[in-house]
Chains A and B, each alone.
Chain A
Amino acid sequence: MAELTAVLASTHHPFYYKATTSPPDERPPYAGDWQRKVEAYRETLIAADPDILVMVGADHFHQLWLDNYPQFLIGQAEQYDATFYNEEREFGIPKFLLQGDVDFSRYMHQELMNQEFDLAVSHELKIDHSIICPIITVRPEADLPVVPIYTNIFVPPLPSPKRFYELGRAIRRVIDSYPTEKKVVAIGTGHLSLELGGPRQFGEHGPDPLFDADAIEWLSTGNAEAILANVTHESMSGVGNATHGFMDLLLMMGIAGEGEHADYVDQLDLFHTREMYITWYPYKNQKQAEAATAAAEVSDASTGPIYANDAVWDQFREEKQESEQGTGADALSAVGEGSER
């Protein structure tokens, strides 16, 4: 049977390629730190020795459109072109040609159907940046066959968070039962709190750093119960109109398993959004443990969960407290003024 040697869940950011490949004097000030963290994260994949990548992402209205929009879709093609003209235009992301694995895609599709997940299928799928960003960050050689799975995080009504999590659980069972001697790694990308095309976009920080704090704790401790109790489509909209990409991270946590603590957890406040890089090793061996430790030394990451009470978020807690006290004091003084009249 296949061995699932690692599960990677990370944010994706189409700015990374240009930020880290421009001539040094044109790079943004945050590029150095970002590159150091991404390259350290890459080491955690290398230690998993993958032969095949199961990749989870979401098409951003590149190929999939409103005349016929699937909730979940699997690619089943010999090869996959990437990326689209408008992504090259906006982000400078180059073209790729990824190899597929038709047999594994067919098996995955059928077995997910057998578990009541009725995915749509594409035999001519062009891959967008939700899958190419992690190729660029963790496997820039782009040398491994992929099984792409797309989710709907964009076109309401969306599947529920529970459905994303359960799909992750089902994908795990399929990988575990696939008859092959090969090593499989699952890589999926999404977002923490994020705003696009709205008033909170491109601010000094992500739209809701304290949601990010909870999200990273929940994901890195495998706390499905807390996520399913606290996260709804409405609550995600409340912390940023494009936050629904968080459900793809939840899906990846489903692949790793309930209660599974992550083996490598990193994050970076990249002004308008927070980046997050998580790796689970389901059958952690010494080589993987050492790789995670060595990578964490380079990136200042953690080799276990990062909790919401981490000092990283003190600044945002204080700001929130101050603004709440501020409103409280205003309300009190308003009452005071009223009673004097």
Chain B
Amino acid sequence: MSRYYVNKFLYTVDSDPKWVAAYKADPRGTIDRWEEEVGQWLTPSEKTSWLSFTEEEREALATHNYVWLFEHGAHFFLNLTLFIALYDQEYTARSGPLSFQREMADKLSPWVGKEYPSVAL
């Protein structure tokens, strides 16, 4: 389990339009490429040798499964912002403003009234 690494994925993809587009078009392939080109790097020349995803984390990211990510403590802000980037435009065109955000709320509704999974690392 590497919640940090999952957050690093969400954070670095969200902050670069090239990675946002790639993650939208080919999520599974993008994860592998991201690990090579971004995930294992601390700075452009310094490598972190030990970070990796669990199979479940990889699968959740490969299927854009933000519910699983929420339930396993991915940071709520990153989880929201990146999936807005991926889906807001098409949802807004189809069903009006904020319809993606409302669907996300709806899918997470079993958590109303409960303590949410912690985002603490």
Contact = CB atoms under 8 A, between A and B. Distances in A.
Contacts of A67: 42
Interface string B9-31: 00100111100000000000000
Contact of A202 (B75, B77, B105, B109): B105
B93 interface: no
B121 A66 contact: yes
Contact of A242 (B16, B17, B76, B79): B76
Nearest to B76: A197
Interface stretch (A81-89, A137-145, A291-299): A81-89
Interface residues of B, number: 38
Contacts of B109: 199
A322 to B, nearest CB: 17
A156 B3 CA distance: 13
Contacts of B121: 66
Contact of A61 (B4, B77, B97): B77
Given A66-B4, A202-B101, A197 B42 contact: no
B17 A197 contact: no
A196 B105 contact: no
A267 interface: no
B78 interface: yes
A86 B78 CA distance: 11
Given A85-B17, A199-B105, A202-B102, A157 B120 contact: yes
A154 B102 CA distance: 22
Contacts, number: 73
B52 interface: no
Majority secondary structure, A binding face: loop
Contact of A201 (B11, B14, B42, B105): B105
A67 B46 CA distance: 13
Contacts of A86: 14-15, 81, 85
B118 interface: yes
B119 interface: yes
Contacts of A237: 115-116
Contact of B116 (A62, A156, A198, A203): A198
Contacts of A182: none
Contact of A199 (B16, B88, B112, B115): B112
Interface in A70-123: 84-86, 89-90
A32 interface: no
B104 interface: yes
A86 B12 CA distance: 11
Interface of B: 4, 7-8, 11, 14-17, 42, 70, 75-81, 84-85, 88, 97-98, 101-102, 104-106, 108-112, 115-116, 118-121
13 contacts: A61-B75, A65-B11, A67-B42, A90-B85, A90-B88, A198-B105, A198-B116, A199-B105, A199-B108, A199-B111, A200-B105, A202-B101, A241-B76
Given A154-B77, A201-B101, 9 more contacts: A60-B77, A67-B42, A156-B118, A157-B120, A197-B70, A198-B108, A199-B109, A202-B102, A241-B116
